Amino acid sequence: MTPRTVAITGLGVLSACGIGVEAFWHGLGTEPGARPQPLEVEGFDPGRWFGPKEVRRVDRFTQLAVAAATMALDDAGMAKGPEPGDGLSLARCGVMVATGVGGLASYDRQLHVLEARGADRVSPFLIPMLMPNAAAAAVSLRFGWTGPCETVTTACAAGTHGVANAAGWIASGRCDAVLAGASEGHPTPVGMAGFANMTALSPTGMSCPFDADRNGFVASEGAAILVLEELDAARARGAHVYAVIAGSASNADAHHLTAPAEAGAGALACMRLALDDAGMSPGDVAHVNAHGTSTPRNDAAEAAALTALFGRPGPPVTSIKGVLGHAFGAAGALEAVAAALTIDRGAIPPTAGYHTPDPALGLDVVAGGWRAFEPGPVVSNSFAFGGHNGALVLAPPPG
């Protein structure tokens, strides 16, 4: 069967630079400077989406996911769910919400309760709060979507893998619509201490992707959900199509638990697989939304992979982590939203924190302001602890 074309028709986003598509897009153009970690989604009030009892029974990562999914459906014109005549059935509407650690914050809080007040005071809702699939389950329950409901947990590649897997449900004909993305609550004090002790965090609170003076990432939280539909059906109901997902790939470095493979070999292979899946060549790519964490080794490995694939300087590259920080499992979904908006709005956001080019990297890093963009294929990368690699290829909707 010929794969069906996967359209992006709705976007919901909560990030460290803004809530909602417009605030998010505007925020990507800022230069925030040093900030205390972890970065949070400022102004988020879960009471807008949950009742007073319910809100105490769900972890923050689930709260963020439900809010993002609600926004995405509203943006797609599907706030009321499938309508008569639109060809959608709840049984063919799926949910895929990825995460890196799920409800770890709830576990930490209840551990303190156990130690201070005893076992009988631990919340009976702890397990449903901490399980990584809690957000996907909550979204499915909220909207009554009874198609496949799954979770991907591949550390910082989870968001990209989640969107890619969900796109496969549309392309294969299993689903007609999917709420796809990822959510991550802010890291706990224990988690922050662990990252700090492994020297992964920026000691200055500055995320400087690909900069010569980069010294680590800035931890953050966030959620992004995309509404995916089959292209012809989306157009038939008059939906706005931001972009299409033309291809994707997933592979593993099988090299080291936390360090990338030498010269970015796994990242390079993953991008090649994604382009093959999209039926494209490197010369077709007009822009790369990089993983770009601002750690010395990660950025060097990704730059080496990009150079091996595209040559120097290659297509314009940006990393939005200079503004957003690193939202771990949610990062790839946030970056997929940015890539879709880049295509839709004809502009590439700058790489905040990039001031001193690293001559060893040799990339065309977009910095200092927005760059006009003639819409074309965009590669969005995610690489993770454990050697997990993911890449998406987004493209303008076909005429």
Spatial separation of the C-alpha atoms in residues 294 and 319, rounded to whole Å: 9
Spatial separation of the C-alpha atoms in residues 90 and 157, rounded to whole Å: 28
Q: Does residue 326 carry a catalytic annotation?
A: yes
Spatial separation of the C-alpha atoms in residues 222 and 211, rounded to whole Å: 24
Catalytic residue among 161, 186, 287, 291: 291
Is cis: bond before 38, omega within 30 of 0?
A: yes
Q: Is 206 exposed, middle or buried (0-12, 13-18, 19+ CB in 10 A)?
A: buried
Spatial separation of the C-alpha atoms in residues 392 and 354, rounded to whole Å: 24
Report the b/e string of 361-393 with b at 16+ CB within 10 A.
bbbbbbbeebbebebebbbbbbbbbbbbbbbbb
Catalytic residue among 186, 287, 326, 388: 326
Closest CA to 170 of 237, 248, 78: 248
Catalytic residue among 156, 175, 208, 270: 156
Closest CA to 353 of 27, 118, 33: 33
Q: Does residue 186 carry a catalytic annotation?
A: no
Q: Tokens standing for 222?
A: 């966030």
CB 248, CB 277: distance < 8 Å: yes
HSE, CB side, 13 Å, CA atoms: give it for residue 29. Answer: 12
Residues making up the chain, counted from first to last: 399
Residues with active-site annotation:
156, 291, 326
